[in-house]
Amino acid sequence: MMIRLVDTIEVKGAEYKDGILRIGLENIIPESQKPKKIEISSLHQFTQPKIEVKEKEVKAA
C-alpha cells in the first residue's frame, strides 16, 4: 500500500501497535504560501463627500 502526500506534509514517525498503524504528520507551510495580514485603515480616511441632490433635479424613470 502506498500513500501519496502533498509536498508540505512531513512524516514525523510511525508506530504499529495492537493492529493499529499510527503515523505522525506535520504540515509545514512555506512563508510564501501562508495567508498575509493586511491592516485595514479607518474608514474616515476614505469617506467621500456627500452629494446633495435637490428634488427638482431628480427625474422620474
* More confident of the two residues 6 and 47: 6
Give the tens place of pLDDT for each residue, 20-47.
999 999 999 988 888 888 887 766 666 6
Phi first, then psi: what are they for 23, rounded to 5°? -120, 125
pLDDT, residue 58, reads 53
Per-residue confidence band for 9, with pLDDT thresholds at 50, 70 and 90? very high
Number of Cα atoms under 13 Å in the Cβ half of residue 27: 5
Which residues, 6+ apart, have CB-to-CB distance to 12 below 8 Å?
24, 25, 26
Q: Cell numbers at residue 20, please?
A: 493499529
Strand locations in 1-61 (E): 9-17, 20-27
- Residue ranges per domain, the chain? 1-29
